[in-house]
Chains A and B, each alone.
Chain A
Amino acid sequence: MKGNMWAIAVLFIGLVVLLPAAGAAYADNAREATANETTTVDYDAPYTLGEADVEAYTSLTVTANNATLTNGTDYTFDASNATIDWLNTSATSDGDTAAVDYAYTHYDTPTQTAAMILTTAGTWIGYALLIVVVGYILLMLPGGTGGW
């Protein structure tokens, strides 16, 4: 293997700074969107939001009978499954029409695919580069074998 201090420094900077920076840029790059849906209150069946494959939900407002319902009191929202469980309270009745307005962040398909490929490949490439760096350090140690 070819090796010198300059190469170690470049690889170290790359592993520690550049690649995490690309990941951080991705995390900050989710597209924001809103959705407005109407559904029927059903105490026996949860309502699944139309946009379920999202990065995160940033807001959720549920109204029924001209009143804004409260999460945890009138319904429970499960963000991981994108479902609203209706709770049997005086604010709603079975069969009422409810409006669900929410905002969310998501990545488009090319971005998701790019992230998946780079994450998978990047993990292995990162390990390989780490092996290279460790190899250089071992070669430079006093009495290093220099044989690999």
Chain B
Amino acid sequence: MSAPGNATGSATGNSFIWDRLVPVGSIVLILLLGWCVLTYTMNAPFQRDLNRRAGVTPTAQEFFWQTYSQPKPTMPAPHQVAKNLWKHTFLVKPTSRQSLIYHSGVTISSTLLGFLMGTILGVTIAIGIVHVPALDKSFLPWIIASQTIPMLAVAPMIIVILASIGITGLFPKALISTYLSFFPVAVGMVKGLRSPQIMHLDLMSTYHASKVQTFWKLRLPASVPFFFTSIKVAVAASLVGAIVGELPTGAVAGIGSKLLAGSYYSQTIDIWAALIAGSVVAVLLVTLVDVANGIVTRWMGGRPT
């Protein structure tokens, strides 16, 4: 989804500052301010209760800082989350169970495995649908219908079932990621493989190209832009699948298990830190896809965007 072009076209060098940095920055600033206000208002009732029971009457300023330094706040203060993130990212060993890098690594590995399987499955399905009319008519509606079903709801069941027949670890979680990521790839690739115009297909048939040759020389190259658009969606979906897949594993490892453990023990700061770690991972994965897209586009002779 591209931002709509601004017709004014002020050709000044600082258009990035005025079109991007200032608007986005101010909204982020407003969100941060809102966070600070919420921290005070949401933590205040509990703190007031606490103080009354302890029989202390702090000044307004002391009270304000008390709401910012609760150990298990309803709404953690920004600096608490930042400190938690810093500690669990840089101060502990990356291999320790406390480290967010360790948990992110676990989640990333099942995300990538599921993403890979989902992409292969999606591309295979798309190739089948484009070449076999019966599959197009009978299968495609079910693929679309499968996405109206909340597939994540199946996640705990898949984990438990596979665990009961002795399959544990990475694979069951990856399976859920596969389930979520094959759909955008399949639909995008069907579109992409069908994107060559009739004229191009006619040219292929005047060359007496076989179906296989047409596929490799025309359909596949034409589908590359569609491929990257859809795997960008797929990789984000894979991450969601991996995180949800970690929920029922009894909180062993991964960002999802950090979320669940945090919610069990009301470790709100941990939850927020895990959430931010998950967001960073998401941005990282999407950026990777973008970089790969740029490399492949350049390699195919296209103009990098």
The answer to whether A and B belong to the same complex is no
